[in-house]
């Protein structure tokens, strides 16, 4: 039993110290002295996530509206569903920026240059599916890098990005399935 107590005290801060810290620097909001990340750098990286997700919302919505053809209704519904999901991702990142004391940049000016993905060009149904699959594959790799970067320095941001990443992988799988269904052959090997 004594071993457990000494082990706990080796890595756990006593409650009195935690209470004292919580009362200090109230202007810092949710950012505690124990935060191991760099707040300004985290906010800058999350601004990219916000922009990327906004561009994805716009691309999926444009594709949902522009989709036409025999099977367009079901594909348009999938595009619309993904647009809503991407909007939720954008809100998560924007809220995290707010928690860290920043202001999310939702300004449309410069949106494309802040985004990791491209808006796209429309086209026929298969071209739109390919554009979305490429965008999903790009954000998957980008978010994997961000997750590795945040690691244990900012577990809240990392966990949020892990949730978004899981959705993006699901979106990529959906786009790949649609592509195979419309082309009759796998696009990816």
pLDDT tens-digit map of 7-46: 555 667 777 766 676 667 656 556 656 567 788 999 999 9
Q: Report how far residue 29's alpha carbon sits from residue 72's, in angstroms, rounded to the nearest whole number.
A: 47
Q: What is the dihedral of CA 102, 108, 113, 116, to 10 degrees?
A: 70
Q: What residue ranges do the domains of the chain occupy?
A: 36-183
Given the structure tokens 């990791």, which residue do they identify? 116
User: How far out from the chain centre does Cα 26 lie?
Assistant: 28
Q: What percent of the residues of the chain are helix, what percent strand, and what percent coil, each to the nearest 5?
A: 70, 0, 30
On the question of pLDDT at 115 being above 90, the answer is: yes
Q: DSSP label at 26?
A: G
CATH of domain 36-183: 1.20.1260.10
On the question of pLDDT at 187 being above 60, the answer is: no
pLDDT tens-digit map of 81-108: 999 999 999 999 999 999 999 999 999 9
């Amino acid at each position: 039993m004594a071993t457990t107590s000494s082990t706990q005290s080796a890595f756990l801060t006593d409650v009195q110290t935690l209470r004292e810290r919580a009362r200090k620097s109230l202007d810092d909001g949710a950012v505690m002295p124990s935060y191991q990340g760099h707040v300004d750098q985290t906010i800058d990286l999350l601004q990219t996530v916000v922009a990327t997700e906004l561009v994805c919302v716009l691309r999926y919505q444009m594709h949902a509206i522009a989709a036409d053809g025999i099977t367009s209704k079901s594909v348009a519904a999938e595009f619309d569903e993904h647009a809503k999901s991407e909007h939720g991702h954008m809100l998560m990142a924007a809220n995290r920026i707010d928690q860290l004391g920043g202001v999310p940049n939702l300004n449309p000016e410069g949106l494309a240059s802040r985004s990791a993905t491209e808006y796209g060009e429309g086209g026929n149904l298969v071209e739109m599916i390919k554009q979305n699959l490429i965008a999903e594959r790009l954000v998957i790799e980008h978010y994997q890098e961000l997750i590795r970067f945040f690691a244990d320095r900012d577990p809240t941001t990392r966990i949020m990005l892990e949730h978004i990443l899981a959705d993006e992988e699901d979106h990529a799988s959906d786009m790949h399935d649609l592509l195979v269904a419309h082309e009759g052959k796998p696009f990816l090997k």
